[in-house]
Amino acid sequence: MSEPLLIELEEGRSGTLPASCLLPECDVPQAELPWEMVRQELPLPEVSEVDLVRHYVRLSQLNYAVDKGLYPLGSCTMKYNPKVNEETARLQGFVQTHPYQDELTVQGNLQLLWELQEFLREIGGFAGVSLQPAAGAQGELAGVLMIRAYHRERGDAKRQVMLIPDSAHGTNPASTSMSGYTTVEIKSDSRGNVDLEDLRAHCDDRVAGMMLTNPNTLGLFDEHVLQVAELVHSCGGLLYGDGANMNALLGIVKPGALGIDVLHYNLHKTFSTPHGGGGPGAGPVAVAERLVRYLPGPIVARYSLEDLPEIETEDGEEEPQYVYHLVMPEASIGRLKSFYGNFGVLVRAYTYICMLGAQGLREVSENAVLNANYLLAKLRGVYPLPYDRRCMHEFVFSGKRPETPEIHTLDIAKRLMDYGYHPPTIYFPLIVPEALMIEPTETESKRTLDAFIEAMRRIAEEAVAEPQLLHDAPHDTPVRRLDEVRAARQPKLRW
């Protein structure tokens, strides 16, 4: 390992700019700094540009990133983020606008939001979209609150139960509880589908709805999805679709056509926004006709200028065809997020969709499914596969092989780090003991997949020949195996 970083600290503050910092030209009136508010004893570092650059580059090299290699994180989808998305999100015309600006001065921003609403509406086969929610979990909350508003407005207050399969993501029951509903778990059958018998037994007039993830977290498309929708609807409930991961469906299946009434997207999983570092995300919600009036707002509406009084334009300026306007849906569940949602994330998703087009989006899903099935086929028989079916964009092995009972999934995941890979998702979904959940994503080449397959095979061999190697892994990372509980409770934030 390299030497610990040396940052020279100077006592006190000199009041001059450090050499590593060049501020852009000032575009507001200059004012004195309120020095009395700055702690005199604060040892502000003053370093040269090269020291600053090295500090951050070294830090970045301690981290694994999707720009460095395969990141096969099942369910949480770490696909490559094309850099053009970053360029558009940084365009001055977007960056320099302020959310308090008058609508007429930000028509371009509103047009982008409106078009993104339309893209997502079309992709999912829905009647309306709100871009407000800031994350998948917040989209779920919005969806369940809309379902609740729907039943309430019909005077159907005794519906208090949300049905959730045992393979669901933990945010599903959490969103349900936050909405004041009770969760009832529905079993999966031996093929990994919703167990129809169990579902039928729970469908009654207390059911507000069901939250379904399809393909589910086993990476399997539910073979009875139409019957599931019919059962839930026939007892008066609505069907929620957890669309966090749409990577197997784009351009192939519209969830709206399967009978789903409300679905959230994770723009930071399917539509390429970088995530995983705790940065902003977006979880837009899309709804069928009967829920449009409850959408969280504001949403962007578009009016043709023919329907409106004439607008004055500056000399020589092209007359716009449409006017975009923020509106609150009629019986909206309200605001979930300040202003327009996470605008930068929305610009990235818009760029991603425009760059790919309809055909490109379909290819994303085709390749995501192909890559996952390729890995699955090459590793089948090396690791146990509790639900052995053709998978969608991901699949779930068990890390518990009969020949190496003392090796755990955690050991395999840690050993993968020595081979230069980010580990897959582990110990989720809960219905697979010692789960190893792999999602290669569509952006990986056959060469990368083959190298990963080779690493997984070698680790299986090592587990037999040299198990201690796995128990002690990782060996080659900046830090070794951490006490994860203590690391979370007493984080060391300085290095």
Ligand X SMILES: *Cc1c(COP(=O)(O)O)cnc(C)c1O
- Please report, as ranges, the residues that interact with ligand X according to CB under 6 A: 75-76, 135-137, 169, 171, 213, 217, 242, 244-245, 266, 281, 283
**Whole-number minimum distance, CB 213 to ligand X, in Å?**
5
- C-beta of 140 vs 418, nearer to ligand X: 140
Asked if residue 258 lies in contact with residue 225, where contact means CB atoms within 8 angstroms, the answer is yes
- C-beta of 192 vs 281, nearer to ligand X: 281
Position of minimal CB gap to ligand X: 136
Angle between helices 136-153 and 171-178 (to 10 degrees): 40
Q: What is the DSSP letter of 204?
A: S
**Whole-number minimum distance, CB 329 to ligand X, in Å?**
23
Phi, psi of 217 (to 5 degrees): -75, 0
**Whole-number minimum distance, CB 340 to ligand X, in Å?**
18
**267 vs 131: CA distance, rounded Å:** 10
**Whole-number minimum distance, CB 77 to ligand X, in Å?**
7
- C-beta of 287 vs 323, nearer to ligand X: 287
**Whole-number minimum distance, CB 310 to ligand X, in Å?**
44
Closest C-alpha to 243, from 211, 274, 220: 211
**Whole-number minimum distance, CB 181 to ligand X, in Å?**
17
Q: What is the DSSP letter of 6?
A: -
- Taking CB atoms within 8 Å and a gap of at least 24, the contacts of 6-10 are 7/45, 7/47, 7/51, 7/55, 8/45, 8/46, 8/47, 8/51, 9/43, 9/45, 10/43, 10/44, 10/45, 10/46
**Whole-number minimum distance, CB 317 to ligand X, in Å?**
41
Peptide bond before residue 255 is cis, with ω within 30 degrees of 0: no
**424 vs 370: CA distance, rounded Å:** 18
Beta strand extents in 42-134 (DSSP E only): 128-130
- C-beta of 213 vs 351, nearer to ligand X: 213
- C-beta of 266 vs 332, nearer to ligand X: 266
- 301: burial class by Cβ within 10 Å (0-12, 13-18, 19+)? middle
CA angle, residues 204, 150, 175, in degrees to nearest 5: 80
- C-beta of 76 vs 110, nearer to ligand X: 76
- C-beta of 249 vs 463, nearer to ligand X: 249
**Whole-number minimum distance, CB 245 to ligand X, in Å?**
5
- C-beta of 169 vs 415, nearer to ligand X: 169
